Chain A
Amino acid sequence: MASISEDAHRAHRSPVDQAGGVAPVAAPPAGPPARRRTSGVGWRTRAEIALLAGPALGVFLAFVIFPVVMAAYYGFFSWQGYGPPTEFVGLRNYVTILTDPTFHDALRHNAFIVVMSLVLQGPVAVLLALLLNRPLRGRSVIRVLIFVPYVISEVVVGTGWSLMLATNGALNDLLAKVGLDGLAQEWLSDPDVAIWTLMGIITWKYVGFAVILFLAGLQGIPEELSEAASIDGASYWQVQRRITLPLLGPTVRIWAFLSIIGSLQLFDLVYIIWGQYVASTAGTSTMATYMVVNGRNAGSYGYGNAVAVVLFVISLVIALLYQRFVLRRDTDGAITGGKR
């Protein structure tokens, strides 16, 4: 915290500084005693931080951190959710989760969704963004069309697709009408097909988000660079490959981070399209649907909380590793306080 406010002071002189002069915010732990006025400013700055960040911090503690701690606590109990938990079972819930083949399936599906989301959406979104970054007729219309699925609520998307993809739904009907009966599938219940159906819907829905991010990233790349390269005789593709894409790197890495976290927590689409029980037979269950089936639906709230903790830990570890190894260059100075 202190380092951020220091940066802020360096960046622009606030009215307080003009009145009281610039001074380091926190007195160094060892060394000459700080002047009185300095500590006054320090105290005042802290009070300001406390006043401005306090309410948000309080709400965050009450509605994010506290529930996380409580979930960890409940996870050690066998608890039906009526009254306070009494039956302490230690690590039994965690052992059951980690040895449950149904959970392994869900974990595998999540991993598949994480990888395929990156593989399918990344290249498509980059190409679309490059295309839409050039002046062309109807650009804004195309942009809207690509972005619309992302804006529609998951519930509406899920309901719509599940109606169209039902065995006697619009898609199979259409295939029959154009004489391609052979291509008709059990899009939702055949375990070999269902996961690809899900990937198709996810790609269709979320690629718009990636495109918007990349377009914003492309806006930030100075045109002089590509102009200079063109003058030096580089072709369009060489310019894109050697200049545009590397400079788009930070945006792509941030998008991949968001995509991975989203894929790990995927729940709503699966829940709406497959329901809670058919998802596991169709091979589209995720850790989140496993949590609902074996927690809330079974009335085993202790077990459900333990699943939530496992999901939280998996997401946190992946997020931290990603920050540490992939995002490090991009976020230096912003998150790490400039320390190497």
Chain B
Amino acid sequence: MDMRKTLALTSALALAAGLTACAADSSGGDADGDVTMTFWHNSTTGEGKAYWEETVAAFEEANPGVTIEIQAVQNEEMDGKLQTALNSGDAPDIFMARGGGKLADVVSAGQVMDLTDSIDDATRTAVGDAGFSAFTIEDKVYGMPTAILPGGIYYSGDQFAEAGIDAAPTTMAELDDAVEALKGIGTQPIALGAKDAWPAAHWYYFFALRECSQEVMAEAADTRMFDDECWTRAGEDLQAFAETEPFNEGFLTTSAQQGAGSSAGLLANGQAAMELMGAWQPGVVASLTPDEQPLADLEWFPFPAVEGGEGDPSAMMGGVDGFSCWAQAPKEECTAFLNFFMQKEHQEGYANAFHTLPASQEAQGVVTEPALQQVLEAYNEAAYVSVWLDTLFGQNIGNALNVGVVDMLAGQGSPEAIVEAVNAAAAKG
């Protein structure tokens, strides 16, 4: 009998413990005034991971009593994990953010700290307004940008030379000619990872950037409706372009960045000549070349001009990577860390580690890869820079665009259907 009672008691206790073990303390402070913060970033391997470890160590040394616990989260898992953490009320103090509509959703749930008054003057000057714009919601800043990632077409200079293309295409007509010339030398003109959908949707985004004026873009970001004709024209442009069969064989089942058979892999291994991508591309391609070194002949040109389009031909589109503080993080220490890694030396380290463009203009001198220098040049001359449409309009519409564009490229949709899908997306709230 005693035995049984003990058993009952232990099992009840074990059960209770199991169900309540998740109530963690997240205040971050303790009795001696020491502060511990958690920090989530998405570099699980190599140089990027090492960069964050070094930067955090330097910060801890400069700020005794502050400890930062680093967690590297796989990029594809980041959104879901962060969402779960925010809902559980025990979120990381510092987490990755990409601005736009996605960030707006988290801000409206009261989960992000307002950084407007906490940004150093030095940082503000170094980044400039453009860098902060993606993180600005109703004149308040909610994130610290670390990298700017404008998109455009990356290409293999050697294959262009072999096909007799002297200058990078500047108009759609020239791009069509380049596609034909590349087919002539037996290579696949453009790699496209449509299995992941977003690379295909990017083609639509850029046609929209050329077809729609800046005002129409801004208005659509507000209303989240596509009621201007230019949205349909962008779809028609993409459809007409796809009919010239510029993409690699089996592009619908090609992934974007996974292995040699992915679209980035085709470019890295000389089986395709071009790919439309953001400024993370040099790093991704480098990891997929046979010797895992940067592709020596990788070059870049901006998305070509579209005849009759209402957008500025120099306008660019891209993403911004950055970090936000959780609303309940220790404010002083968290903002101190954000300002700390924006110093010139740490931003230079960031650019080198990630093979990309740092958000701090002071640090942009360390960019040496030719393709990235071409991106930077165009970026500094752009009339305006839009963020990716899926970031701008939020996840819901971004997803509808993904579906609509893939359907159309598979021959089962239409330019009108893309616009309809976006306008119907709100109903699937």
The interface of chain A, by Cβ under 8 A from chain B, is: 47-48, 50-51, 54-55, 58-59, 62, 78-83, 87, 89, 92-93, 96, 162-163, 166-168, 186, 188-189, 191, 273-278, 280-282, 293-294, 296-300, 302-303
B contact residues around A296 at 8 Å (CB):
80
Chain A residues lying within 8 Å of B407, measured Cβ to Cβ, are 280-281
Contact with A along B316-336 (1 / 0, CB 8 A): 000000000000000000000
A58-B394 contact in complex given A82-B83, A83-B109, A277-B406, C-beta closer than 8 Å:
no
Inter-subunit contact A281/B252 (CB<8 Å): yes
A297/B109 in contact, CB under 8 A: no
Decide: A294 near B428, CB < 8 A? Known: A277-B402, A278-B253, A282-B252. yes
A294, B399: Cα distance in complex, Å: 8
Partner of B11, one of A54, A62, A280: A54
B264 CB within 8 Å of chain A: no
B197 interface residue (CB < 8 Å to A) = yes
Q: Which of A50, A93, A293 contacts B403 (CB 8 A)?
A: A293
Q: Check if B33 is an interface residue, CB within 8 A of chain A.
A: no
Say yes or no for B249: interface residue by CB 8 A criterion: yes
Question: B105–A166 contact, CB under 8 A?
Answer: no
- Chain B residues near A58 (CB-CB < 8 A): 15, 19
> Measured between C-beta atoms, what is the minimum distance from B151 to chain A in Å?
20
Known: A51-B11, A167-B249, A299-B399. 15 other contacts (CB 8 A): A81-B83, A82-B105, A82-B106, A82-B108, A82-B111, A83-B87, A83-B109, A93-B428, A188-B250, A274-B253, A277-B402, A280-B403, A281-B406, A294-B399, A294-B428
Q: Is the CB of B14 within 8 A of A303?
A: no
Query: Per a CB cutoff under 8 Å, which of A79, A83, A275, A280 touches B111?
Result: A83
The answer to whether A167 and B250 touch across the interface, beta carbons within 8 angstroms, is yes
Residue pair A297, B395 in contact (C-beta under 8 Å): yes
- The CA-CA distance from A325 to B42 in the complex, in Å, is 52
Bound-complex Cα distance A278 to B254 (A): 10
Q: Give 8 CB contacts A-B under 8 Å.
A: A51-B7, A78-B429, A82-B105, A191-B412, A275-B196, A276-B197, A278-B252, A281-B412
Q: Is B306 an interface residue (CB 8 A)?
A: no
Please report the C-alpha to C-alpha distance between residue A62 and residue B18 in the assembled complex, in whole angstroms. Answer: 10
Q: How far is the CA of A165 from the CA of B427 in the complex (A)?
A: 37
Q: Is the CB of B19 within 8 A of A62?
A: yes
Given A80-B105, A81-B87: A297 and B399 within 8 A (CB)?
Answer: yes
Nearest neighbor of B201 in chain A, beta-carbon distance: A277
Question: Which of chain B's residues have a CB closer than 8 A to the CB of A79?
Answer: 429
B296 at the interface (CB under 8 A from A): no
Does residue B50 face the partner (Cβ distance < 8 Å to A)? no
A82 in contact with B86 given A168-B250, A298-B395 (CB within 8 Å): yes
- A299 touching B105, Cβ below 8 Å: yes
Are B80 and A189 closer than 8 Å at their CB atoms?
Answer: no
Q: Is the CB of A51 within 8 A of B429?
A: no
| Residue in A closest to B402 when the chains form the complex, CB atoms | A277
Q: Mark B241-252, 1 if CB is under 8 A from A, else 0.
A: 000000001101
A168 to B249, Cβ gap below 8 A?
Answer: yes
Question: In the docked arrangement, what's the CA distance between A38 and B255, Å?
Answer: 69
Convert B7-41 into 0s and 1s, putting 1 for each residue whose CB lies closer than 8 angstroms to a CB of A.
Answer: 11001101100110000000000000000000000
Q: A82 to B19: give the CA distance in the assembly, Å.
A: 23
Q: How far is the CA of A15 from the CA of B18 in the complex (A)?
A: 33
Which residue on A lies nearest to B253, using beta carbons? A188
Q: A58 CA to B19 CA in the complex, in Å?
A: 9
A166 contacts B395, CB within 8 Å? Answer: no
Give chain A nearest CB distance to B307 CB in angstroms. Answer: 30
Q: A81-B87, A168-B249 are in contact. Are A275 and B255 (CB under 8 A)?
A: yes
Asked whether, in the complex, the Cβ of A162 is within 8 Å of the Cβ of B253, the reply is yes
When distances are taken between beta carbons in the complex, the residues of chain A under 8 Å from B197 are 275-278
Chain B residues near A168 (CB-CB < 8 A):
249-250
Q: Which of chain B's residues have a CB closer than 8 A to the CB of A83?
A: 86-87, 109-111
CB atoms of B14 and A55 under 8 A apart: yes
- Is residue B309 contacting chain A, with contact meaning CB distance below 8 A? no
- Asked if B261 CB lies within 8 Å of chain A CBs, one says yes
Bound complex: CA of A186 vs CA of B254, how far in Å? 12
Residues of A close to B19: CB separation below 8 A: 58, 62
Known A-B contacts A62-B19, A278-B410; A298 and B252 likewise in contact (beta carbons under 8 Å): no
Q: Does B378 contact A (CB under 8 A)?
A: no
* B163 interfacial by beta-carbon distance below 8 Å: no
How far is B111's CA from A277's CA once the two chains are assembled, in angstroms? 31
Residues on B with C-beta less than 8 A from A93 are 428-429
Enumerate B252-295 residues with CB–CB distance to A below 8 Å: 252-255, 261
Interfacial chain A residues near B400, Cβ < 8 Å: 298
Chain B proximity of A161: nearest CB distance (Å):
11
B194 contacts the other chain (CB 8 A): yes
Residues of A within 8 A of B403 (CB): 277, 280, 293
Residues of A within 8 A of B80 (CB): 296
A contact residues around B255 at 8 Å (CB): 275
Find out whether the CB atom of B106 lies under 8 angstroms from the CB atom of A303.
no
User: How distant is B160 from chain A, measured CB to nearest CB, in Å?
Assistant: 23
9 interchain residue pairs of minimum CB distance: A167-B250, A78-B429, A299-B395, A82-B109, A281-B410, A298-B399, A277-B197, A83-B109, A275-B195
- The yes or no answer to B43 lying at the interface (CB within 8 A) is no
Judging by beta carbons under 8 Å apart, are A96 and B252 in contact?
Answer: no
Cβ–Cβ < 8 Å partners of B109 in chain A:
80, 82-83
Which of A48, A186, A296, A299 is the most central at the interface, judged by chain B CB atoms within 10 Å of its CB? Answer: A299
B370: min CB distance to chain A, Å: 30
Residues in B with CB closer than 8 Å to A276 are 197
User: B98-112, CB under 8 A of A: which get 1 and which 0?
Assistant: 000010011011110
Closest Cβ of chain A to B181, distance in Å, is: 22
Chain B residue with Cβ nearest A189: B252
CA distance A163 to B395 in the complex (A): 30
Q: Contact check, B196 vs A189: say whether CB atoms are below 8 A apart.
A: no
- Contact between chains at B261 and A166 (CB < 8 Å): yes
Chain B residues within 8 Å of A55, by CB: 11, 14-15
With a CB–CB cut-off of 8 A, which chain B residues contact A89? 429
Q: How far is the CA of A92 from the CA of B429 in the complex (A)?
A: 9
A303 touches B399 (CB 8 A): no
| Most chain B CB within a 10 A radius of its CB, from A62, A80, A188, A296 | A80
Check: B396 CB closer than 8 A to any chain A CB: yes
Distance (Å) between the CB of A36 and the closest chain B CB? 18
- A300 near B429 with CB under 8 A, answer yes
| Residues of A contacting B196 in the complex (Cβ-Cβ under 8 angstroms) | 275, 277
- CB closest residue in chain A, given B110: A83
Within residues 293 to 349 of chain B, which ones have a CB less than 8 A from any CB in chain A? none
Proximity bits, B390-429, A CB within 8 Å = 1, else 0: 0000111001101100110010100000000000010111
